[in-house]
Amino acid sequence: MLTLAFPKYDLGWLGWVAMVPLLISILHQRAFSAFFLTLIFGVVSFSGIFFWIFDIPGYKLLHHALLGCYFGPLMGLFGLTVNLISRRWNAGAALLATPFIWVSIEYLRSNLAFLALPWALLGHTQYQNSLIIQIASITGTYGISFLAAFANAALAAAILAFSPPGLWSGSQIFFPVTRRAAISMVMTVVASLFLTLLYGWTVVSQTVGGPAIRMSVLQGNISQQMKSAPKKHAAYIMQKYTDLSRQAAADHPDLIAWPEAATPGFILKNQPMIQELSSLIAEIKTPFLIGSSEYPKFIKDRPLRPGDVGNAALFFSSKGQFLGQYLKIHLVPFGEELPYKDSISWPSYIVPKDKKTFEIPGRDYTIFKLGETKFGTVICWEVVFPQLIRQFVKRKAAFMVNLTNEGWFGDTSAPHQMVAIVVFRAVENRVPFVRAANTGISCFIDSYGNITGRVKDQHGDDTFVEGYFTGKIRPSNARTFYTLYGDIFAYIVLALTGLILASVAFKRPRRLYRTENSAAGDG
C-alpha cells in the first residue's frame, strides 16, 4: 500500500492508512519480532518505490541489497521503538508516539552525511492535495509526514479499541488501547486536518507574486546512447535544440531553458560551437539558460586542475554574451563524486575500477538576474534537498529553474516522483519552479505547488517525447517561515522523541502477556 501511494501510481489516499496493518502487528510482539517485521516492511515497500533504479546502467541486484541494508534497519528501528514503548507503557502511548518516531527516522535518513536521501517521505504522497500541503511553508515536508503518520496511528488505535477482545492476539493483553484514548487520538487528527485545510484555503486564496514572466522549456528527448558519444552526434543534438529554440521563440518568452548537460561537449572551450550558440541567441534575442558539462571557469577558494569537469548551468544574455555559470553543488555519491576518496578504498562492486572521472562540486549559490528579477538554478537531484533550495531563496531568488536529465531511469516512476518532490520545494519557499528535462517531465509549478503546464505529445504522454512548452510564472519575493528558519518543526519533533526515548529507558519493563492459566483464573 505504501508503494502504491507514491507516483506514478498516485493513490495518495493510501498514505493515510498504509501503516495501519504494520502498527497493529508490531505493538504486542517481542522486540526482535517487531524489529524484523518492520525491517521487512521497509525493504519491501522501498524496493517497490525505488524499483526504477534497476534501469540505471551498471546497477545490479547486489546494489539493491545494499540499499535494502540502508533502508531496512532504519525502518526496523522505528518498529523496535514503537514496540518498546508499548511494552513499557502501553499500546496507546506507543501509537501516540508513532508520528514523532516516524518523522525522526525520516529526518535521520534525509540528513545522514553522504547517504542522505530525503526521497519518498510519507508526506510526498500528498503532493496533489494542494490544501493540505500548504502547511509545508511552516513545517517543511515533515509536517505532512507527521500528520499522515498520526492518522495511521489513530486509525490503528480505533481498530484495536473497538475490536472484539482477543481478535488481534492469541493471548489476553495486559494493557490494550482504551476507547477513550482512541477517540481522543481520532478527534485530534480530525481537528489537525481541519486546521491544516483551513490554513491551506487561506493561503491559496491570496495572490502571490509580481508581474508574470514568460518562459520556454525545451525537451530534446536525446537518448543516453547519443549523449554518451557527444562528438559523434554533436551536429544532431545542436540542430535539435536549435529547432526547438526557434519554435519556442515564436511565443516571445523572456527566458529559454535547455535541460541538464544538453550541449554535446564542453562548449566554452569549443570556439566554433560557442559562436554558433551565441549567434542563435542573438538571432532570437532572448536570454538562454543552458545545461552543460564544462571545464569550470572558476571556483571560489579552490585551484582548478587540468581535466576538472563540472555539471554546470550557463547563462547567456539576449545578445549571446556569456554572463555566468552555476556549478552543481550536491553531487550524486559514487556517480558524480567519490565520498571520502582520500580515506576510504571503496570495493569494486560499489565503484568499478574503470571509473576514473568524477566531477568537482561547486560552492556558490549563484543568483542570476533576468531584468530586475533574480532567480536560482539547481541541477538534477539537487531539488530533493530542501536546505539547498532555501539558500537560493534566502539570497532573494524569486523563482527557481531545475535543469535535469532523467533519461537514465527509462520509462519508470522516477521522474514522476521527482516532480512530486519539487512541488514541496515550491510550497516550502512560496516560489515557482520551472523544470527543463531532457526526456521529461518538463513542467511549470506555481508557488502553491500546482503543476500548471508541461511538455507532452498529442497522446498526453510527458516522458520520452520531444517538444517545448511556454508558460507564465509569477516570481515571488515572499519569505516563508520555512525559508527563514528551516526545519524547526523537525527539531521540535526530534527533541520530543528524545524525551519519549528517555522515558522508555528509565521505566521498568512490564510483562506483555498473561498466561492462559492466569487469564482463566482471573475469569
| Cβ 426 vs Cβ 398: under 8 Å | no
Instruction: Determine the 3-state secondary structure of 341 from DSSP.
Output: coil
| Cβ 81 vs Cβ 108: under 8 Å | no
Give CA 491 to chain center in angstroms: 19
| Omega of the bond leading into 8 within 30 degrees of 0 (cis) | yes
- Residue 333's beta-bridge partner residues? 337
* Tens digits of residue pLDDT in 313-353: 999 999 999 999 999 998 888 777 777 777 777 776 677 66
* Tens digits of residue pLDDT in 271-297: 888 899 999 999 999 999 999 876 554
Give the Cβ contact number of residue 112 at 10 Å: 13
Residues 482-506 have a mean pLDDT of 94
What secondary structure does DSSP assign to 357-417, as a single string? ----------EEEETTEEEEEEEGGGGG-HHHHHHHHHTT-SEEEEEE--GGG-SSSHHHH
pLDDT value at residue 519: 40
Residue 89 pLDDT class (50, 70, 90 cuts)? confident
pLDDT value at residue 172: 38
Q: Among 1-5, 160-164, 194-198, 244-248, name the one with the lowest average pLDDT.
A: 160-164
CA distance 340 to 351: 13
**Higher pLDDT residue, 265 or 242?**
242
| Cβ 330 vs Cβ 361: under 8 Å | yes
CA distance 435 to 219: 10
| Cβ 478 vs Cβ 399: under 8 Å | no
| Cβ 255 vs Cβ 213: under 8 Å | yes
Helices (H) and strands (E) in the chain, counts: 16, 12
Does the annotation mark 328 as catalytic? Answer: yes
Find the catalytic residue in 260, 294, 336, 428. 260
Find the catalytic residue in 227, 359, 374, 380. 380
Find the catalytic residue in 227, 240, 328, 374. 328
Give the Cβ contact number of residue 161 at 10 Å: 20
* Tens digits of residue pLDDT in 155-168: 999 999 888 776 66
Q: Report the side by side order of strands in the sheet with 443-445.
A: 367-370, 373-379, 399-404, 433-437, 443-445, 451-454
pLDDT value at residue 170: 41
CA atoms within 13 Å, Cβ hemisphere of 243: 10
Does position 458 have pLDDT exceeding 70, yes or no? yes
Q: Which three cell numbers stand for residue 408?
A: 537514465
Give the Cβ contact number of residue 416 at 10 Å: 20
Does position 512 have pLDDT exceeding 60, yes or no? no
Question: Residue 441: what residue type?
Answer: I
Residues 442-456 have a mean pLDDT of 96
Kindly state the greatest CA–CA separation across the chain. Answer: 93
CA distance 31 to 504: 14
35 CB-contact burial (10 Å; exposed 0-12 / middle 13-18 / buried 19+): buried
Residue 402 pLDDT class (50, 70, 90 cuts)? very high
**Higher pLDDT residue, 303 or 48?**
48
Residues 295-311 have a mean pLDDT of 56
Does position 474 have pLDDT exceeding 60, yes or no? yes
Does position 439 have pLDDT exceeding 90, yes or no? yes
**Higher pLDDT residue, 515 or 308?**
308
> 488-505 and 91-110 helices cross at what angle (nearest 10)?
130
Sign of the Cα torsion 150, 22, 423, 429 reads: positive
Does position 18 have pLDDT exceeding 50, yes or no? yes
pLDDT value at residue 146: 98
Residues 469-474 have a mean pLDDT of 96
522 CB-contact burial (10 Å; exposed 0-12 / middle 13-18 / buried 19+): exposed
Q: Which three cell numbers stand for residue 381?
A: 537531484
CA distance 352 to 58: 9
pLDDT value at residue 249: 96
Give the Cβ contact number of residue 205 at 10 Å: 7
Which residue in this structure is represented by grid cell 506507543?
94
353 CB-contact burial (10 Å; exposed 0-12 / middle 13-18 / buried 19+): exposed
For residue 160, what are the CA distances in angstroms to 122, 337, 368, 420?
A: 23, 49, 56, 33
pLDDT value at residue 192: 97
CA distance 500 to 492: 12
> What values do phi and psi take at 400, rounded to 5?
-125, 145
Residues 179-185 have a mean pLDDT of 93
Strand 288-294 to 255-257 pairing: parallel
* Tens digits of residue pLDDT in 346-376: 776 677 666 666 778 888 999 999 999 999 9
Q: What is the chain's Cα-based Rg?
A: 25
| Cβ 474 vs Cβ 209: under 8 Å | yes
Does the annotation mark 260 as catalytic? Answer: yes
* Tens digits of residue pLDDT in 198-233: 999 999 998 887 889 999 999 999 988 888 787 888
pLDDT value at residue 346: 74
- The closest alpha carbon to 401, from 295, 282, 298, 314, belongs to 314
Which residue in this structure is represented by grid cell 493561503?
203
Residues 52-71 have a mean pLDDT of 72
